[in-house]
Amino acid sequence: MRLGVAEENSFTGNGLNLPMKKFSSSNIELADKNQEAWAFVDEEKIITVARFNQLSFEENPETKIISLNNGNEAFISKDKFKNSFLYYFDTEKTVVVSGNAKEEEIVELANSLPSVDSPDFPSAEK
């Protein structure tokens, strides 16, 4: 995996409800071409959005189930570092949104994502 974030890679957000005003972004290169991930970074936060072929997860007892605006059922929890992560299934893909942001911010970002079938995913606008 390679993550290179630089000012010149700045992403406009394209309709995403990110929890930061100004940030840099990068597409994360993964070995498996059926997996894609993007990182959004500022001085305080790093947020990742990932799209995988459908995966199964083992839920921990603290996992909450919520409904997203697009009708998908989402599962939200915290990792061992107390960072929020959310995942949901869309067609035959799994989408994971995670980062050192408030749970509400992770949910708001997930609600702003387009369908995984969108050629511009994760951009919400063209």
Tell me the three-class secondary structure of 79-98, residue by residue: CCCCCEEEEEEECCEEEEEE
Stronger pLDDT, 4 or 42, i.e. the higher one = 42
Tokens of 84: 């929020």
> What distance in Å separates the CA atoms of residue 55 and residue 90, rounded to the nearest whole number?
11
Residue 19 preceded by cis peptide, ω within 30: no
Kindly indicate the confidence band of residue 10, based on its pLDDT and cuts at 50, 70 and 90.
very low
Could you say which architecture CATH assigns to the domain 7-112?
3-Layer(aba) Sandwich (3.40)
Model pLDDT, residue 75: 95
Give yes or no for residue 1 having a pLDDT over 50: no
> What distance in Å separates the CA atoms of residue 81 and residue 52, rounded to the nearest whole number?
23
Please state the domain extents for the chain: 7-112
